[in-house]
């Protein structure tokens, strides 16, 4: 059995949906859990004590949890939630960046304020919380960071330009942090979920009731990925999806490409464009060194 005894886990946005399932399961498996949630509505407005309820559930079941209502999108509040972990439990081993909001609009109709807020909560919020925990992980030579991405960024989803940009930004952050964390036992990965929550219920056509998730799309089915990525056996620099009970990995590929002469102009590129676009020779770019191997 995979347990998290003596491990301190911070889960952001853990008052409901997927984050709540993560927090409860870490609690069941012996972790000391910091449950964070602003308790906002889906658009990021308002606040409530959702997090306190989840912490109470964990404690009532015999686990150990504390809670806070801090916002991940404020760097000082991000620091404060990590400080709470240190003050209450003495360390921080795992950060699960899960908090999120949605403001769906086509790019033409979105406002720059909405765009900014979505990026602030998802991408900057994840960076702020991770940045606050990073020195402690570095010092103790151990850490697990999970960034919640989405197929919306990795493959694209109509009406989610800011959300998709932020979710794809998680991969960029992961790629660099997984390199920088390697020498200090810090593993950084992306989790791409799919489950019935109030977020997916926003799309009325799907007919989802977040209070009665379909068994195959229950948010608790995402949690095994979070536990794996938080465990001793965690890889680093990977994107793992937990989509309605289906578990898979996705990767960035590039083809071999072509080398043109130093005096090449756009016409030379266009002349060879079929070869440039042909992905039949594509290879994974999971190691940065692979980029320099291209064309050899
Ligand atoms: N449900 C899915 O199918 C799906 C798919 C792809 C990605 N995701 C991602 O999974 C994560 C969890 O989403 P969910 O579906 O459980 O939705 P959810 O709305 O139930 O959970 C998100 C939680 O984040 C909290 N939150 C919002 N802003 C916050 C802030 N500034 N600081 C702290 N907490 C804040 C909310 O109060 C909420 O409880 C999100 O990052 C979401 O983008 C979900």
Tell whether the model's pLDDT for residue 223 goes beyond 80: yes
Give the Cα separation of 66 and 89 in Å (integer): 10
Across the range 166-189, mean pLDDT stands at: 98
Where is pLDDT greater, at 191 or 285? 191
Structural domain contains residue 12: yes
Q: Which of 40, 31, 174 is nearest to 97 (CA)?
A: 174
Give 218-221's long-range contacts (Cβ < 8 A, gap of 24+): 219/17, 219/18, 219/20, 219/21, 219/193, 219/195, 220/21, 220/25, 221/195, 221/245
Structural domain contains residue 62: yes
Confidence category of residue 36, pLDDT binned at 50, 70, 90: very high
Where is pLDDT greater, at 79 or 296? 79
**What is the per-residue pLDDT for 153?**
96
Across the range 152-165, mean pLDDT stands at: 96
Q: What is the pLDDT of residues 228-253, one digit of tens each?
A: 999 999 999 999 999 999 999 999 99
Q: What is the pLDDT of residues 91-100, one digit of tens each?
A: 999 999 999 9
Taking the CA of residue 151 as reference, the ligand 1 atom at the shortest distance is 6
Contact between 178 and 221 under an 8 Å Cβ cutoff? The reply is no
Tokens at 147, concatenated: 């960034």
Give the Cα separation of 173 and 218 in Å (integer): 28
**What is the per-residue pLDDT for 288?**
55
Rounded to 5 degrees, φ, ψ at 166 are -65, -40
Rounded to 5 degrees, φ, ψ at 276 are -65, -40
**What is the per-residue pLDDT for 201?**
94
**What is the per-residue pLDDT for 205?**
86
Confidence category of residue 285, pLDDT binned at 50, 70, 90: confident
What is the average pLDDT value for the chain, to the nearest integer? Answer: 95
Structural domain contains residue 1: no
Where is pLDDT greater, at 92 or 205? 92
Structural domain contains residue 16: yes
**What is the per-residue pLDDT for 293?**
45
Structural domain contains residue 176: yes
The preferred substitution site among 11, 12, 16, 17 for testing ligand 1, maximizing ligand atoms within 8 Å of CB, is 17
Confidence category of residue 287, pLDDT binned at 50, 70, 90: low
Q: Whose CA is nearest to atom 31 of ligand 1?
A: 71
| CA distances in angstroms from 99 to 69, 244, 253, listed in the order given | 12, 19, 29
Angle made by CA atoms 119, 227, 229, in degrees to the nearest 5? 65
Give the Cα separation of 13 and 68 in Å (integer): 10
Contact between 28 and 61 under an 8 Å Cβ cutoff? The reply is yes
Ligand 1, pocket residues at CB < 6 Å: 12-13, 15-19, 36-40, 42, 44, 50, 71-73, 98-101, 121, 125, 148, 150, 193-195, 197-200, 219
Does 151 share its domain with 282?
Answer: no
| Total number of domains constituting the chain | 2
Does 37 share its domain with 20?
Answer: yes
- How remote is the CA of residue 17 from the centroid of ligand 1, in Å? 7
Does 152 share its domain with 289?
Answer: no
Give the Cα separation of 42 and 40 in Å (integer): 6
Catalytic machinery residues: 163
Q: Whose CA is nearest to atom 42 of ligand 1?
A: 100
Tell whether the model's pLDDT for residue 295 goes beyond 50: no
Q: What is the pLDDT of residues 60-89, one digit of tens each?
A: 999 999 999 999 999 999 999 999 999 999
Does 94 share its domain with 26?
Answer: yes
Q: What is the CATH number of the domain that holds 201?
A: 3.40.50.720
> Containing domain of residue 280, as a range?
253-293
Structural domain contains residue 2: no
- How remote is the CA of residue 152 from the centroid of ligand 1, in Å? 14
Q: Whose CA is nearest to atom 1 of ligand 1?
A: 195
Angle made by CA atoms 251, 255, 175, in degrees to the nearest 5? 35
Does 53 share its domain with 178?
Answer: yes
Alpha helices in 49-121 (DSSP H): 50-60, 75-89, 112-119
Structural domain contains residue 244: yes
The preferred substitution site among 76, 100, 165, 218 for testing ligand 1, maximizing ligand atoms within 8 Å of CB, is 100
Does 170 share its domain with 243?
Answer: yes
Tell whether the model's pLDDT for residue 291 goes beyond 70: no
For residue 216, give every residue at least 6 positions away whose Cβ sits within 8 Å of its Cβ, in sequence order, or none: 244, 245
- How remote is the CA of residue 75 from the centroid of ligand 1, in Å? 18
């Amino acid at each position: 059995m995979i347990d998290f005894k003596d491990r301190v886990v911070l889960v952001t946005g853990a008052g409901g949906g997927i984050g709540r399932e993560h927090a409860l399961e870490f609690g069941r498996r012996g972790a000391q859990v910091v449950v964070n949630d602003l308790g906002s509505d889906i658009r990021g407005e308002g606040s409530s004590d959702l997090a306190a309820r989840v912490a109470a559930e964990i404690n009532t079941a015999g686990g150990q949890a504390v809670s806070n209502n801090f916002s991940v999108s404020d760097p000082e509040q991000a620091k404060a939630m990590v400080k709470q972990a240190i003050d209450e439990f003495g360390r921080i081993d795992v950060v699960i960046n899960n908090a999120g909001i949605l403001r769906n609009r086509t790019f033409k109709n979105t406002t720059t304020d909405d765009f900014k807020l979505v990026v602030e909560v998802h991408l900057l919020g994840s960076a702020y919380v991770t940045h606050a925990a990073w020195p402690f992980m570095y010092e103790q030579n151990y850490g697990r960071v999970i960034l919640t991405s989405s197929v919306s960024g990795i493959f694209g989803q109509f009406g989610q330009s800011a959300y998709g940009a932020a979710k794809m930004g998680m991969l960029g952050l992961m790629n660099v942090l997984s390199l920088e964390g390697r020498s200090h036992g810090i593993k950084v990965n992306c989790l791409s979920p799919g489950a019935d929550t109030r977020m997916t219920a926003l799309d009325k056509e799907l007919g989802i009731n977040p209070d009665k998730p379909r068994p195959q799309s229950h948010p608790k089915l995402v949690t095994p990925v979070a536990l794996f990525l938080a465990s001793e056996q965690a890889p680093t620099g990977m994107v793992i999806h937990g989509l309605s009970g289906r578990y898979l990995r996705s990767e960035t590929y590039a083809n071999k490409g072509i080398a043109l002469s130093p005096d090449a102009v756009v016409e030379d590129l266009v002349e060879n464009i079929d070869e440039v676009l042909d992905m039949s020779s594509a290879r994974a770019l999971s190691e940065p060194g692979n980029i320099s191997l291209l064309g050899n």
